[in-house]
Amino acid sequence: MELASSSSSNRALGAFLQHDAGEELTVFVAVDRWWLLWTPADYADHGTGSFHSVQSANSLPLPQAEDLIACYLFGHHGELDMREAVDASAAIATITEFFSSAGRPERVVWMPD
């Protein structure tokens, strides 16, 4: 697991988690906002990409600059849409589910990347 050095309202702290089955869950936290990125173990073999958590399955218009927050993991820069953050209780329940069973956790809504 890798942790970023700090979190703020415009910079997310990131952690990379790996299940024994080979699945990955990347977690970003910025103050009270959480984002999750789940990658199946066999994604490279099947062409299946990762999935990101969303508040609902309804599509949002493209984000504006003020909707984005910077994140860094393993030295790579990314941006997260603040409108798609999930609450802490849903994120923690998803992390718990991730480690307790194989497969995509069902505690949050996922959209393919």
For position 2, what pLDDT does the model report? 42
Residue 94 CA to residue 67 CA, distance in Å, equals: 24
For position 6, what pLDDT does the model report? 52
Residue 38 CA to residue 30 CA, distance in Å, equals: 18
Integer distance in angstroms from the first to the last C-alpha of the chain?
22
Band (pLDDT 50/70/90 cuts) for residue 1 is very low
Residue 43: in which H helix or E strand, if any? helix 43-46
Quick check: 71 and 81 in contact, CB under 8 A? no
* Extents of the domains making up the chain: 11-112
**pLDDT, tens digit, 9 for 90 and up, residues 4-37:** 455 555 677 888 899 999 999 999 988 788 999 9
For position 72, what pLDDT does the model report? 75
**What is the pLDDT of the chain when averaged over all its residues?**
82
Band (pLDDT 50/70/90 cuts) for residue 92 is very high
**pLDDT, tens digit, 9 for 90 and up, residues 69-87:** 888 777 777 888 888 889 8
For position 4, what pLDDT does the model report? 46
